[in-house]
Structure 1
């Protein structure tokens, strides 16, 4: 196959590109605008491969999208290009509306125009795989709010987004499904839980805490730190996404989770414990933890039921939270140059979304 990956220089997108090039015989066209979080250094290991090519294109630019489709003639699209940080969406929602909604619409229309030119067999085999988030579902009951078994997000959970980011992703999900229903474009949607792992831009919790800890800076915890997330190692997610685009059924939704519900405070404390063992200093890193005013509209709990992925596509996460987090910390310790380059001139780990 020849797969067009949008947002392939981002965190999850680059993991998908590396997985495809390193573990399959497929070719990848990486289409990325290279905003602040897009970084070609994350693809150095594959950028000389003859099955890899790069196009610096904004998904809102229809003419350029048409050129890319006509030049490369992909067999599938994996759409990961998105603004994705909740705090940034609170500060500046316009970019999220433009990229996540208008950009997805523009990509759908460019894909549809190209798809309509294909022969019947190629049309039937084509896939448009839209990668989304569990945040479109809103939040779930927290353990301190009710007794007994707690619910999980399933593929039929109603949408109730809380932030400008999740609302824009919910909108893009609806557009993708509408293009299947109205135009017959063969689409699939996946919704994932919080990803973590190597090459993660340090505005997100885990890389921010690792880098702040090493520099002796405060480790900020929103509110009481009791917000619960299901953590998914990014390389497990990349494997799942490839399974979906190659084996998933048109019109289906697949939820992808890591089976690791953790409170934010526990995540930060675990990072501190790993650093205490790997890079000990005179005081425990946990002494750098500080509590700050919570994020507006902060969802309290996310948790995904991945039963459908397991039963229908035979996928399970390979990493536990403990093994994945230790690998992540070790990667950041070994890749300080990458960390410096992605922050130069754009972001110095200041708080956003106040």
Structure 2
């Protein structure tokens, strides 16, 4: 099998590439990545001799057409897995244009390429396209509302709006042109190789630097956390066995509010669980995400392997502690941007 993996030097994409090379040595992997601030060639050093790396923009129609055409010319099973995205909400509030360019125009370029060459396409998206849900405690309300593939889109930020638009492009190209496409919408990921601007890596690296973690608002916003390896196992399940045209939601029943996550990380570090600071909330900050992944579980037999959030956070904390050389060059600039925002 031949795969073109867009965004393969970013967080989720790089973990997908590592897992594919490790577990599926018969798959020929081509990575396309623009190497923006959030993409790092060093993330793929350990597998560099087992993949083909192309530095480029997924919105470059000529380049994308050439790469997809090369896949199709091999006469073997071929697929595009589209991870590439601008994905940080705070950045989308400061400058929406890169999100329009990558998330919308990049998706358009890929769809036209797979349409021209008849290549299978899987589109990786987010639960943030659905907006947010009322706050609810799983212990008090086990029947609480969760996102499904039928939940109406209601994005809150330029990031989630452009991802929603990209999903709709995929649906339209599948219906109008018959491309062989699937979509997955996943909840918040955590694990190795995630940029320090993101919530969990930022808190971990602050703790490692002796800086008190910073939490938006009252810290009650809930995210449905999933380990990146579980996400990528689900992507492979959809790619291999998913129904063409279907949207699958990926989640691991990992709902936790931000305070629980920060307190857990502080306890892992052997510090007072209340040694954090509350800062001004982000505009349009969604209250709660929660995924109903029953279709994925029942139809494709997928189950998460990392079902205990605290143990997953411990492993992630240890990874950042042991890999300071990877994240340290990004830390000062990230914190300078947050300081300008008062967060």
Corresponding residue of 1:141: 134
Name the CA distance, whole Å, in 1 between partners of 2:336 and 2:232: 26
Corresponding residue of 1:161: 155
Residue 315 of structure 2 is aligned to residue 327 of structure 1: yes
Corresponding residue of 2:21: 21
Residue 36 of structure 2 is aligned to residue 35 of structure 1: yes
Corresponding residue of 1:64: 63
SS across alignment from 1:350: helix
For residues 285-313 of structure 1, what are the alpha-carbon distances to aligned partners after superposition, in whole Å with 9 as ceiling and x for unaligned?
54541111111111100000111111111
TM-score normalised by the chain length of structure 1: 0.90
Name the CA distance, whole Å, in 1 between partners of 2:39 and 2:317: 21
Alpha-carbon shift at residue 349 of structure 1 (Å): 5.9
For residues 308-344 of structure 1, what are the alpha-carbon distances to aligned partners after superposition, in whole Å with 9 as ceiling and x for unaligned?
1111111111012122111100100110001124457
Corresponding residue of 1:122: none
Unaligned runs of 5+ in 2: none
Name the CA distance, whole Å, in 2 between partners of 1:108 and 1:228: 33
Name the CA distance, whole Å, in 2 between partners of 1:196 and 1:235: 9
TM-score normalised by the chain length of structure 2: 0.93
Residue 98 of structure 2 is aligned to residue 102 of structure 1: no
1:1-354 map, 5 Å: 1-24=1-24, 25-49=26-50, 52-73=51-72, 75-115=78-118, 126-143=119-136, 148=141, 149-276=143-270, 284=271, 286=273, 288-319=275-306, 320-343=308-331, 347-348=334-335, 350-351=337-338
Unaligned runs of 5+ in 1: 116-125, 277-283
Corresponding residue of 1:279: none
Name the CA distance, whole Å, in 1 between partners of 2:151 and 2:232: 23
Contact 1:229 1:301 in 2 (8 A): yes
Contact 2:65 2:110 in 1 (8 A): no
The CA RMSD over aligned residues, in Å, is 1.6
SS across alignment from 1:31: strand
Name the CA distance, whole Å, in 2 between partners of 1:233 and 1:353: 29
Number of paired residues?
332
Contact 1:208 1:349 in 2 (8 A): no
Against the structure 1 CA distance between its residues 243 and 156, is the aligned structure 2 distance closer, same or farther, given a 3 Å change threshold? same
Alpha-carbon shift at residue 110 of structure 1 (Å): 1.9
